[in-house]
Amino acid sequence: MLTKRIIPCLDVMEGRTVKGVNFINLRDAGDAVELGSLYAEKGADELVFLDITATVEKRKTLIELVRRVAKEVNIPFTVGGGISSVEDVSALLNAGADKISINSSAVRNPGLVNTLALEFGSQCIVVAIDTRFDGEKNIVHTHGGRTPTEIITENWALEVQERGAGEILLTSMDHDGTKAGFACELTASISASLQIPVIASGGAGTMEHFTDVFTHGKADAALAASIFHFREIEIPDLKKYLHGQGIVMRLEKSFA
C-alpha cells in the first residue's frame, strides 16, 4: 500500500505566508522559508509554495524565494503562481524546485501541459484545479479563484491527465479555510477516475478530516495551511494519529 502524504501549503505574497477563508480575507502567517524549514523538520512529506498574486499581477514567481527554500528545506517542494512557459519552469527547477504547479495558464493554453510534460517529465508537472460548486456542477476557476470558467472540474482532471500531468492538486473553494472538512465526495470521484495521484486541498480542521479524505475521499495526499501555520495541529501528532487509524504514513524515528 502506498504511503499517504501530508503537505503543508504556504500561500505566499511578497515573501510572507498568508491565509484566508474561501480565498479572501488574508492574514499574515509568517516567513515562508522559516515555516517551510520548520515543517520539514517536523515530518512533512512535501511542501507547496503558491505565489497567490503572481497570475493576477502578471508577474513571475519569485526565483529568489525558491533558491532560499532549496537551501533550507530537505524535502520535495512544489512551486506555483504565474508559470506560463518552458522558460519559467526551467528557471524554477534550476533554482531548486522539485515540481511546478500550473493552473490559469493550463486553462488558457491546455497544450502547455503536453509541452511541459514532454520537456521536463510528468513527474514534476502538477496541475492545480480550483473548483467551486455552482448549484448544478463543479466548475474550474482561474486567477487565484477569482475567475469562473465553463469547464467542468471532473472533465478537466481527465483531460490534463491525458495531456501528461503527473499529479492533480484539487482545491475545493467552497471548503477552503472553513475547517469543516475536505470535499471528500468530489475528491473520491476524481481519484477513482484517474491513474495519477490526487492531492486534496481545502477544509482541513481536525485530524478526523484527514482520516476521512484518505479513506472516503481516496486521496493520495492531503494539503492544509492554517491549521499548521497557527499550530492548531502539529504534524507529528497528526501522523501518529493517522498511523493509529491504519493509514500508512512515513513516520520519523523520533516519533514512530
pLDDT of residue 22: 47
Inter-residue long-range contacts of 64-71, CB under 8 Å, 24+ positions, other chains counted: 65/12, 65/15, 65/32, 65/33, 66/92, 66/95, 66/96, 66/97, 67/95, 67/96, 68/33, 69/32, 69/33, 69/36, 69/96, 69/97, 70/95, 70/96, 70/97, 71/96
Summarize pLDDT for 78-131 with one digit per residue, the tens.
Answer: 999 889 999 999 999 999 999 999 999 999 999 999 999 999 999 999 999 999
The answer to whether residue 176 is catalytic is no
Q: Which amino acid is at 126?
A: V
Helix or strand holding residue 106 (H, E): helix 104-108
Residue 61 clears pLDDT 60, i.e. is over it: no
Ramachandran angles phi, psi of 211, nearest 5°: -55, -45
Distance CA 143, CA 146 (A): 5
Helix or strand holding residue 87 (H, E): helix 86-95
Distance CA 52, CA 25 (A): 13
pLDDT of residue 254: 46
pLDDT of residue 55: 56
pLDDT of residue 29: 54
pLDDT of residue 249: 95
Enter the C-alpha cell of residue 226: 492554517
pLDDT of residue 179: 92
Q: Per-residue pLDDT averaged across 129-145, rounded? A: 93
Catalytic residue (one of 45, 51, 88, 130)? 130
The percentage of residues in the chain with a pLDDT greater than 90, rounded to a whole number, is 75
Distance CA 91, CA 246 (A): 40
Residue 256 clears pLDDT 50, i.e. is over it: no
Q: Where do the structural domains in the chain lie, given as residue ranges?
A: 5-249
Q: Which amino acid is at 237?
A: D
Superfamily of domain 5-249: Aldolase class I (3.20.20.70)
Q: Helix or strand or coil: residue 147?
A: strand
Summarize pLDDT for 19-50 with one digit per residue, the tens.
Answer: 544 444 455 556 888 889 999 999 999 999 98
pLDDT of residue 27: 53
- Binned at pLDDT 50, 70 and 90, residue 176 comes out as confident
Q: Per-residue pLDDT averaged across 3-11, rounded? A: 94
Catalytic residue (one of 11, 45, 176, 220)? 11
Distance CA 18, CA 226 (A): 9
Contacts of 22 (CB under 8 A, 6+ apart): 173, 174, 176, 177, 178
The answer to whether residue 130 is catalytic is yes
Q: Which amino acid is at 184?
A: C
Summarize pLDDT for 80-95 with one digit per residue, the tens.
Answer: 988 999 999 999 999 9
State the residue for C-alpha cell 507547496: 48
Enter the C-alpha cell of residue 234: 502539529
